[in-house]
Structure 1
Amino acid sequence: MASTPGQVLHSLREAAGMSLAALATRTHFSKAAIGHVETGVRSLSPELAAACDRALGTAPLLTVLIALTGEDQAMRRRALLTTLTAAAGVAGLAGAVAVAELIRAGLVDAAGEVEDWGQVVADYSRRLVTDPSPAYGAALLGQVMLAKQEIVSRGATPDLLRAAGLLTQLYGLWRGNQDDVSGAHGWYRTAVLLADRSGDTASQVFVRARTASRGIFEGYTLWETSAKAGEALAISDRPSLGALEAHSALVHVHALAEDLPAGRRALGGMLDVAERLPDTGPDGPLARTVSFQHYLEARIGEPAAADQTWQTAEPILRPVPVWWREAQVYYGLALVRRGDVADGIGYGLAAAQALPTPVRTVGIAVADLLRAVPTRYASTDLDELRRHAAPGGGPWVAWGT
């Protein structure tokens, strides 16, 4: 069992699969400073503890741990270290993050406050498309575990069930982006059950529709995706993010079936919903719709349309790295389709290399681009790009209609 804050930091960093250099970059502290703390040469300062907690997704674990000093806190410190060691031993970084979330929830309760689950869901939704790292996944799982504990201890209220369903959906999406497709599908099913139990129509629509929009890249046939999108729209009672996602799933279907008029009609459905929803920032309905418009035109539209949508989409999507890089790959596909093969491959490679964490949807886009490259074309960039393609082919290869 780790017995000092430095040893705990070392264990957490290794559990996150993060090198000293990577943690130094994320915290803006030097490798030497962090290394000296881990080996016991220096004490863990409050500033470094807070920075590492943020980088690892374990706030406020390290901060609380270094506050438990002195003989009067020795028992609490040992209890925390024992709990942390047990949780990390079973679930690695996710276990440590779960302990951190319990600590944070205890601090909130002690202050007489109630967790704002709506804000928690919004924060993690945004992080999914801006920083889908292993630390994010561990932190998100910690939130799911905390929501479960709240349901057990306080009762299955509609708000808690709704939050648990949406967080579970997000965790499934994250698992899918780690190429754990079967695991993702299990989390999607749980999300639907929780949303249905909540009685909240908006969340019921959203979890079904988001599953359909992602599922086209995770084993669903075009027919299955259309059916799931239709199911979501059938229970939708007003414009919502779920309705937006259902239409986006249909854009996927028609883009993969190479039916441009039907794809544009589905995109019109997205635009109609987006115009009636509030703008929630860089990853809001407008940006989501723009990303799908570009995807559709870049994949099967005319070159001029692909150029125009890329010029529109690029500045809008830039603050959302996952969507931006996926769109960049698809513009590379558009270039390859018109014969600018080297430039297209260059666009795709630059996008894939720019993401610090591999993301399946971007890998699928890379695989899509590679299919358009002429058989006899060869280059070192092409060889490198192949390394970034998602394994297992794609929906346009083997999953039929």
Structure 2
Amino acid sequence: MGIGELIRELRSALGWSQGRLASEINKQFGTTLGREYVSGWECAKHEPGTFYLRALSAVLDVPLAVLGNELERRTFLTDVAGVAIAPVVASDLLSQGFAARLRGGPSADDWEGKLSAYGTDYMSMGAADIQRRVSGELVVVQQQLDSAPLWSVAARFMTLYAKTFPGSDGSKAVSWYRMAARAADESRDESARVWVRGRAAIALGYEGASLPVADVIADQAVAISDRPSLGLLNAVYGKAHAAAMRGDRATALELDARGQRVFDTVGSYEQTSDYAVPYWRLNVFRSLLLARLGDEKGAVAAQEQAHRELPPTLPRFATHLALHRGLMLARSGDRAGGVAVARAAMDALPPAKHSLTLRMLLAEVHA
């Protein structure tokens, strides 16, 4: 498949017109691309150059290597076919769900074990693998929603599933986060209600996407309980990033100070899970926050602290820190240098380990 056909397939999968694709590129990269130029790509009249390959990678949410290499394109399309819920796969999912219902399904303890395993897997797996696996779990658990503990399980699975969609989409990710919050409310579990909202807030705030939603969901978490918890910690840093993206430096720094106080009470230690916030992960939050605020000294200190304790088995988070450095350079006026650092970090990470969040950060450095 040629690059023009791939662009058309990816655009169609998003339900976008050629004009919408051009508009998204213009919005994120400050260009003046027209619909006719997108049509030219798709009809093989001309191929996108290096800049537009990077723009397409960010907007269509695919690794740059996929767009630039024929072998990578074929591999990517095979992976997409595995992720897409074709009729046969949908049939299998339905069968799995009803069979689980007839058998009574996994126990609440079994589900908690599954969630714990996913929390660990999330730290190193790609979005496509997580999405494919979690979609099956959601089909099964929705057949068992007849007790409060299983609503809590479902809410946390929904939150994980939402993370596999780009927050900048403005619909899918936010829709799933909102459903997760409602599901958590059905559980009547205060800690789940706060955690689900806090996780959504930090995801959207860190990505710099859907900032009003990040604020609202974070405020809901704080209103439910302002007692120190990992959910509250996530909510505070979600709001801090949203404030930084809006240019409200004072509020962002105030929230950073509050977040550090919450961490002192509830921080995790030597855990590698999406359900944990050890010191190195706190500093990943702070590294990006301070880079966005232009606090180079503070950002570098946070990056050094994160590197000291970051497990070597999590190269994706080392890439996060490199992108933060690229953002600092770009914001200080060295845009070319910042883009070069960020691009080199992404290219060094195997494409299978790329995440939606990393691609959005790369787009932020470019912009």
TM-score normalised by the shorter chain: which range applies? 0.5 to 0.7
Show CA shifts across 1:41-84 (max 9, x none).
xxxxxxxxxxxxxxx89xxxxxxxxxxxxxxxxxxxxxxxxxxx
1:288 aligned partner? 281
* Offset at residue 352 of structure 1 (A): 2.4
Q: Given the alignment of the two structures, is residue 364 of structure 1 paired with residue 353 of structure 2, yes or no?
A: no
Match of 1:134 in 2: 128
Q: Which amino acid aligns with 2:346?
A: A
Q: Does 1:117 align with 2:107?
A: no
Quick one: structure 1 residues 186 and 280, their matched pair in 2 at CA, closer, same or farther if it must change by over 3 Å?
Answer: farther
Distance 1:181 1:91, change over 3 A: farther
Please tell me whether residue 305 in structure 1 is matched to residue 298 in structure 2.
yes
Letter in 2 for 1:208: R
Letter in 2 for 1:90: P
Q: Deviations over 1:319-354 (max 9, x none)?
A: 444443222211111123345555422320123231
**Is the Cα–Cα contact under 8 Å of residues 284 and 321 in structure 2 kept in the other structure?**
yes
Structure 1 contact 128–174 (Cα < 8 Å) conserved: no
Would the alpha carbon gap of residues 114 and 292 (structure 1) be closer, same or farther in structure 2, given more than 3 Å must change?
closer
1:35-74 alignment, distance < 5 Å: none
- Give the TM-score normalised by structure 1: 0.60
* Match of residue 144 from structure 1: 138
What CA deviation, in whole Å up to 9, does each residue of 1:247-273 have, x standing for no partner? 011221222133334322212222222
Task: State yes or no: 1:245 paired with 2:234.
Answer: yes
Q: Mark the CA change 1:270 to 1:149 in structure 2 (over 3 Å): closer, same or farther.
A: same
More displaced stretch, 275-284 vs 291-300: 275-284
Contact 1:291–1:313 under 8 Å retained in 2: yes
2:164 aligned counterpart, secondary structure: helix
CA separation in 2, counterparts of 1:136 and 1:221? 24
Q: Distance in 2 between matches of 1:187 and 1:341?
A: 35
Whether the 8 Å contact between 1:267 and 1:289 is mirrored in structure 2 is no
Alpha-carbon RMSD across the aligned residues, in angstroms, is 3.6
* 1:230 corresponds to which of 219, 243, 251: 219
Residue 269 of structure 2 is aligned to residue 279 of structure 1: yes
Residues in 1 aligned to 2:257 and 2:232: alpha-carbon distance in whole angstroms: 12
* Counterpart mapping for 1:73-92 below 5 A: 89-90=86-87, 92=89
TM-superposed CA distance for 1:245, in Å, is: 1.2
Alpha-carbon spacing, 1:367–1:195, altered in 2? closer, same or farther (3 Å): same
Distance verdict in 2 for CA 1:271–1:98, change over 3 Å:
farther
Change beyond 3 A, Cα 1:101–1:335:
farther
1:314–1:104: structure 2 CA closer, same or farther, 3 Å change rule? farther
| Matched-pair contact (CA < 8 Å) for 1:244–1:270 | yes
Letter in 2 for 1:285: V
User: Compared with structure 1, are the counterparts of its residues 335 and 239 closer, same or farther at alpha carbon in structure 2 (3 Å cutoff)?
Assistant: same
Structure 1 window deviating more from structure 2 (116-125 vs 248-257): it is 116-125
Q: Distance in 2 between matches of 1:279 and 1:305?
A: 23
- The aligned counterpart of 2:156 is 166
- The amino acid that maps onto 1:244 is L
Bigger mean CA offset, 346-355 vs 332-341: 332-341
- 1:106 Cα deviation after fit: 10
Distance in 2 (CA, whole Å) between partners of 1:207 and 1:363 is: 23
Moved over 6 A (4+): 97-109
Residue number in structure 1 paired with 2:325: 331
Measured after TM superposition, the shift of residue 218 of structure 1 is 7.3
Q: Are the structure 2 counterparts of residues 276 and 214 from structure 1 closer, same or farther at C-alpha, using a change threshold of 3 Å?
A: same
How many angstroms apart in 1 are the aligned matches of 2:251 and 2:151?
A: 36
Shift in Å at residue 314 of structure 1? 2.8
How far does the alpha carbon of each residue in 1:82-135 deviate from its partner, in whole angstroms, 9 at most, with x for none? xxxxx964264x7657767999999997xx976422222222233333213422
Q: Please state how far the C-alpha of 1:167 moved relative to its aligned partner.
A: 0.4
**Which protein has the larger Cα radius of gyration, Structure 1 or Structure 2?**
1
Q: Determine which structure has greater relative contact order: mean sequence separation of CA pairs < 8 Å that are 6+ residues apart, divided by chain length.
A: 2
Q: 1:107 to 1:275 in 2, by over 3 A?
A: farther
Structure 1 residue 210: Cα displacement? 2.3
Q: Write the letter of the residue equivalent to 2:357.
A: T
How high is the TM-score relative to the length of structure 2?
A: 0.65
Q: How far apart, in 2, do the equivalents of 1:311 and 1:298 lie?
A: 13
**How far does the alpha carbon of each residue in 1:132-184 deviate from its partner, in whole angstroms, 9 at most, with x for none?**
34222111111111211233xxxx2221110011101111121236x754222
Cα pair distance change 1:116/1:268, threshold 3 Å: farther
SS in 2 for 1:174: coil
For 2:322 and 2:166, the matched residues in 1 are separated by 21
